[in-house]
Amino acid sequence: MYKSIALGVTASLFSLSSMAQFSAGADFALPNWDGASVGYGVSAGYEVDAGDNMGVTAQVGYLIMGVDDAFFSNYAMIPIQLGAKYYLDEKSNGLYGHAQAGIHAMSITTPEIVIPGFGLIDDIVIPETTTSDSNVSFAVGAGYAVNESVDVSVRYNVITYDGGSNNYIGVRAGYTLGGSK
């Protein structure tokens, strides 16, 4: 059963690939939460036609967040989102709006902490720890297709978790690798 579904999805994607656009992009993130500063990374995108001015999108990336808190030594995110674009002019040209939803897989590493015993007791060592979590996320934004190959967009991402949310402004400059326009 699962093989049949996987085969059907794969066949559908290959049949749509003649109408699809693949892109690679450079990403920047401006977070609003404590402990993180400007992040940077890369992403891959996929867009398939869904009408005259519409496109259905999929995007996955890898962001390394800057760390401005001594308590964190590494902070990374993998956003995986599906969405839609609506072009205000014509398909793959000019200004567009877009919305996305998915998950952000996050990994945070805290450094080893040594509390000195000053010769009275042994030093207390708290080992380096890496914590990973995946949270539901969504984004809204706008972009501009500069030409058939270059696309620039900005989005407001919200990452939800129990008890609240974090958000960041994401900026992406993408280059279309192939497919139909």
CB 144, CB 96: distance < 8 Å: yes
- Residues 111-127: tens digit of each pLDDT: 788 888 887 888 888 88
How far apart are alpha carbons 173 and 159 in whole angstroms? 21
User: First and final CA of the chain: distance in angstroms?
Assistant: 35
DSSP β-ladder status, 54-67 and 36-49:
antiparallel
| pLDDT recorded at residue 121 | 86
- Residues 62-97: tens digit of each pLDDT: 998 887 766 666 778 999 999 999 999 877 678 999
| pLDDT recorded at residue 3 | 46
Backbone angles phi, psi at 144, to 5 degrees: -140, 120
Decide: helix, strand or coil at residue 10. Answer: helix
Tell me, rounded to whole angstroms, the distance of Cα 33 from its chain centroid: 17
| pLDDT recorded at residue 69 | 65
How far apart are alpha carbons 123 and 20 in whole angstroms? 59
